[in-house]
Amino acid sequence: MLDKLEKYVQSVMKERNHTGCSVAVVKDDEVIWTKGFGYANLEKKIPVTPETIFRCASVTKPVVTTG
């Protein structure tokens, strides 16, 4: 199942021209899987990790919408 998730994330990143992202799967209030995709800094080839800190813009809409 995680293989499908990884392929999906990679395809969405390519389709939307995203440089990098970090994904976490949470079950029963426990983080069971994390992975970074792409680059945090493309010029320096610094990869995204689960610990990468991203700048946030307007993120309340998706949070309010999903729950």
Q: Which long-range contacts (CB under 8 A, 24 or more apart) does 38-45 make?
A: 38/13
Give the pLDDT of residue 54.
Answer: 86
pLDDT number for residue 13: 95
How far, in Å, CA of 37 to CA of 21, rounded?
A: 5
The verdict on whether 22 is a catalytic residue reads no
> What is the structure's pLDDT at 20?
95
pLDDT of residue 21: 94
E-strand ranges in the chain read 20-27, 30-41, 46-47
Tokens for 59? 């993120």
pLDDT of residue 57: 74
pLDDT averaged over 10-residue windows placed end to end, the chain, 67 residues: 94 95 93 96 96 80 60
The question of whether 4 is a catalytic residue gets the answer no
Q: Specify the pLDDT at position 7.
A: 97
